[in-house]
Amino acid sequence: MVEGLFFTFDSAFEMWTFRVAVVALLGFLIGGTLLITRPQEEVMGHPKGLFLLFMAEMWERFSYYGMRALLIFYLTQHWLFSDGEASVIYGAYTALVYIAPVVGGYLADRYIGQRKAVLFGAVLLTFGHFFMAFEGDASLGQANPMINVFWLALALIIVGSGFLKANISVLVGQLYARTDIRRDPAYTIFYMGINVGAATASIICGYLGQTVGWEYGFGLAGFGMLLGLFFFVIGKPLLKGKGEPKDPARIAGAKEWGIYGAGLAMVALCWVAIQYQELVGVVLGAFGGALVAYVLAILTFQMAYGSWEKAPRGPFMVYLVSALGLILGLIGASQSIAYSDYVAGASLVVLIGVLIQQSMVKTFHERDRIFAAMFLILVSVVFWALFEQAGSSLNLFTDRHVDTQGVNAAMFQSINAIYIVLLAPVFAMLWQFLGARGAEPSTPMKFGLAVVQVGLGFLVLVWGAESVGVNVPTPVIFIFLIYLLHTTGELCLSPVGLSAMNRLAPAHLASLIMGTWFFASATGNFAAGKIAEATGAEGVGEEAGKQLVLDVYSTVGWYAVGIGVAVMVISPLVKKLMHLDTLKDDGDLAGMAEAGLEAQEAGVHPETSKG
């Protein structure tokens, strides 16, 4: 034990890690405050509004990741859920967080504008994070009546994130003209705020929550969100009128309050959904499947023939029936309804047959590109399902089975963000270097590499744990290695995928494709919860429980490597579908030198380096 100035730490390393995180966070707070309060219109060559958004987003991400680092422990240790139950709740929560921006982005674009959407989201988030600090009697477990406040807190954070995350990055782009060369470095600065908030939150809130008390960890996360809201409110003049409603008449009178009422209705819906996690999976499957089927129908019948009316009735009706059969079959299979899997399989075969037949009848590049985008989206589901073990099963594994050298397990959630800060500029330069020599891997190849790396991360951890013996705590170096491989995989997929969706989608389908990307991220997060559920091993003893986790990790690791290699093998065919020779190159994701921490960081309208 090491006595600090205010707290007692389990090791000197934990103490100094905590201190460095606090100093770094305070440094950015003081520096950001000085920048946005200077009398000049611009500082460091950028409008002060950029640094206002930096501060707001840094504190919002601080609150989100601070709470996220503690959530799985809070579920298992305070509310006394089993590992499996807690993992499914965690997966449903993160899935809803990823899908909510689709609604938040739509309402901002169509009605209230980005600034008011961000403000409304920040208010919901502030209440949500503070409600997390209300614990009640821990001895009662799930019989504690305060659990309803806990569900409400999660619902507020989900909807608040939907309004804020979808729109704050859009505000960054609106501060600059479309041709302004400062747009790309502006996004680099903005994404740095995300990374700083995420890295410091897991260390500071993670330590306080696990060591001092849950209310201190969650309370500090809530205070961070309050700071972000404070900066955003007082800094409104720095936005120069950007992000306001496109058509104020649409929200005249009480109509604007109707939008906020719809947001609160979403909170109520999420309050129910987070308590019935299987419902989340069904909804994701149904709406995700319907969205993909709709996009493919537009390409195959409307765009190919010029209008819905000119499309051939027979193939179109077969397509509709098979798409409906596939969706209903998948829903039925998830509920263990007899023969549902056969219905889904047969419908899928018919659906693919119709698409192939129509592709042979009518060929055009835009459809091929969307087929390529759908393939990449499907691969991303596999990646996120494995990558997002970090906050659930891997967090629990670190806490129970790793020699952490006296450091709280929640603090290890900061490793990914720290690696992003260190490696994102390296990857951005690497792609630029290879691109200048015509040797840059294609986007499908990068996706394959990402899945291989996430699989190798699990295999390295399994090898490390078994090499020292299952009955011996796993050396902490293997936790650093799995996060390293997962982060390098993420840098091959996340920022690359966002720019690919932007480039491959026709202008009139851009929102639909981005919505599909968000649905895929949400589906991956929910699947991550189901995988983590399989690692739950209550009542079998520590050694047997550890072995079960390693067996699951070994299985998913080898599957991931196999899938990744398969993607790499067929990547030339997918690249051919992209028709890069006739595609206008909009460049990489703006701010790629710091991008990559999360699939939704660029919002619903990703900016590219060529505007």
Q: Does residue 535 share a domain with residue 417?
A: yes
With a cut of 90, say whether residue 519 has pLDDT above it.
no
With a cut of 90, say whether residue 340 has pLDDT above it.
no
Closest CA to 583 of 366, 373, 364: 366
Q: What's the token pair of residue 535? A: 């690692």
Distance (Å, whole) CA 352 – CA 331: 19
Task: Say which residues have a Cβ less than 8 Å from residue 542's Cβ, sequence separation at least 6.
Answer: 400, 401
Q: With contact defined as beta carbons under 8 Å apart, do 414 and 552 qualify?
A: no
Q: Does residue 449 share a domain with residue 352?
A: no
Q: What is the mean pLDDT of residues 500-507?
A: 78
pLDDT at 229 (0 to 100): 92
pLDDT in tens, 117-176: 999 999 999 999 999 988 888 778 888 889 999 999 999 999 999 999 878 888 888 888
Q: What's the token pair of residue 359? A: 């592709």
Distance (Å, whole) CA 152 – CA 154: 5
pLDDT at 274 (0 to 100): 93
Q: Does residue 89 form part of some domain? A: no
Q: What is the mean pLDDT of residues 239-243?
A: 85
Task: Say which residues have a Cβ less than 8 Å from residue 524's Cβ, sequence separation at least 6.
Answer: 380, 381, 382, 383, 384, 385, 387, 388
Distance (Å, whole) CA 381 – CA 387: 10
pLDDT at 9 (0 to 100): 81
Q: What is the mean pLDDT of residues 10-38?
A: 90
Q: Does residue 187 form part of some domain? A: no
Q: With contact defined as beta carbons under 8 Å apart, do 160 and 123 qualify?
A: yes
Q: What's the token pair of residue 171? A: 């505000």
Q: Does residue 448 share a domain with residue 324?
A: no
Helix (H, G, I), strand (E, B) or coil at 404: coil
Domain of 393, in residue numbers: 365-611
Q: Does residue 611 share a domain with residue 574?
A: yes
Distance (Å, whole) CA 221 – CA 14: 20
With a cut of 60, say whether residue 540 has pLDDT above it.
no
Q: What is the mean pLDDT of residues 289-299?
A: 86
Q: What is the mean pLDDT of residues 568-596?
A: 77
pLDDT at 89 (0 to 100): 94
Which of 339, 363, 387 finishes a domain?
363
Return the percentage of the chain with pLDDT > 90, whole number: 47
Q: Does residue 242 form part of some domain? A: no
Q: Does residue 525 share a domain with residue 597?
A: yes
Which of 342, 363, 384 finishes a domain?
363
Comparing 157 with 517, the larger pLDDT belongs to: 157
Q: What is the mean pLDDT of residues 268-294?
A: 86
pLDDT at 588 (0 to 100): 64
pLDDT at 545 (0 to 100): 82
In this structure, what are the phi and psi dihedrals at residue 233, rounded to the nearest 5 degrees? Answer: -70, -50
Helix (H, G, I), strand (E, B) or coil at 79: coil
pLDDT at 607 (0 to 100): 66
Q: Does residue 347 share a domain with residue 380?
A: no
Task: Say which residues have a Cβ less than 8 Å from residue 26's Cβ, sequence separation at least 6.
Answer: none
Distance (Å, whole) CA 81 – CA 365: 51
Q: Tell me, what CATH number does 404's domain have?
A: 1.20.1250.20
Q: Does residue 293 form part of some domain? A: yes
Helix (H) or strand (E) holding 474: strand 474-475
With a cut of 80, say whether residue 543 has pLDDT above it.
no
Domain count across the chain: 2
pLDDT at 597 (0 to 100): 72
Whole-number CA gyration radius for the chain: 24
Distance (Å, whole) CA 394 – CA 533: 12
Q: CA angle 358-362-367, nearest 5°?
A: 85
With a cut of 90, say whether residue 604 has pLDDT above it.
no
Q: Does residue 147 form part of some domain? A: no
Distance (Å, whole) CA 244 – CA 112: 7
pLDDT at 584 (0 to 100): 66
Q: Does residue 408 share a domain with residue 543?
A: yes
Q: Does residue 19 form part of some domain? A: no
Q: What is the mean pLDDT of residues 260-276?
A: 93
pLDDT at 40 (0 to 100): 84
In this structure, the dihedral spanned by the alpha carbons of residues 168, 174, 178 and 183, taken in order and rounded to 10 degrees, is -50
Query: DSSP H helical segments within 362-476, as ranges?
Result: 365-387, 393-401, 414-436, 443-468
Q: What is the mean pLDDT of residues 473-488?
A: 96
Q: What is the mean pLDDT of residues 321-326?
A: 91
Q: Which of 188-192, 210-214, 554-558, 582-586 comes out lowest in average pLDDT? A: 582-586
pLDDT at 486 (0 to 100): 96
Band (pLDDT 50/70/90 cuts) for residue 67 is: very high
Comparing 609 with 202, the larger pLDDT belongs to: 202
Return the percentage of the chain with pLDDT > 70, whole number: 94
Q: How many CB atoms lie within 10 A of CB 435?
A: 12
Q: Does residue 374 share a domain with residue 318?
A: no
pLDDT in tens, 412-466: 999 999 999 899 889 888 888 888 888 889 999 999 999 999 999 999 999 999 9
Kind of pairing, strands 402-403 and 474-475? parallel
Q: What angle separates helix 83-107 from helix 147-165, to the nearest 10 degrees?
A: 40
Residue keyed to tokens 């929550």? 209
Tell me which range, 34-43, 228-237, 593-602, is most confidently predicted by mean pLDDT: 228-237
What DSSP state is assigned to residue 276? S
With a cut of 70, say whether residue 602 has pLDDT above it.
no
pLDDT at 344 (0 to 100): 86
Q: With contact defined as beta carbons under 8 Å apart, do 583 and 82 qualify?
A: no
Q: Does residue 77 form part of some domain? A: no
Which of 363, 397, 425 finishes a domain?
363
Query: Residue by residue, what is the 3-state secondary structure of 516-573?
Result: HHHHHHHHHHHHHHHHHHHCCCCCCCHHHHHHHHHHHHHHHHHHHHHHHHHHHHHHHH
Q: Does residue 548 share a domain with residue 579?
A: yes
Q: Print burial letters for 544-581: b (CB count within 10 Å at least 16), e (below 16).
A: ebbbebbebbbebbeebbebbeebbeebeebbebbeee
Q: What is the mean pLDDT of residues 268-280?
A: 90
Per-residue CA distances from 390 to 338, 410, 426, 451, 562 (Å): 35, 10, 23, 15, 21
Q: Print burial letters for 27-60: b (CB count within 10 Å at least 16), e (below 16).
A: ebbeebeebbeeeeeebeebbbbbbbbbbbbbbb
Band (pLDDT 50/70/90 cuts) for residue 244 is: confident
Q: Does residue 301 share a domain with residue 389?
A: no
With a cut of 90, say whether residue 386 has pLDDT above it.
yes
Tell me which range, 3-12, 513-522, 555-564, is most confidently predicted by mean pLDDT: 555-564
pLDDT at 505 (0 to 100): 78
Q: Does residue 370 share a domain with residue 335?
A: no
Q: Is 488 exposed, middle or buried (0-12, 13-18, 19+ CB in 10 A)?
A: buried
End-to-end Cα distance, the chain: 53
pLDDT at 365 (0 to 100): 79
Average pLDDT, the chain: 87
Q: Does residue 434 share a domain with residue 457?
A: yes
Kind of pairing, strands 8-9 and 2-3? antiparallel
Q: What's the token pair of residue 579? A: 């028709």
With a cut of 80, say whether residue 523 has pLDDT above it.
yes
With a cut of 60, say whether residue 96 has pLDDT above it.
yes
Q: What is the mean pLDDT of residues 340-357?
A: 88
Band (pLDDT 50/70/90 cuts) for residue 603 is: low
* Beta bridge pairs of residue 9: 2
Band (pLDDT 50/70/90 cuts) for residue 288 is: confident
Q: What's the token pair of residue 133? A: 């600090």
Helices and strands in the chain, H and E counts:
20, 6
For 103-129, give the DSSP string: HHHHHIIIIIHHHHHHHHHHHHHHHHH
Q: Does residue 109 form part of some domain? A: no
Q: How many CB atoms lie within 10 A of CB 88?
A: 24
Q: CA angle 213-214-216, nearest 5°?
A: 70
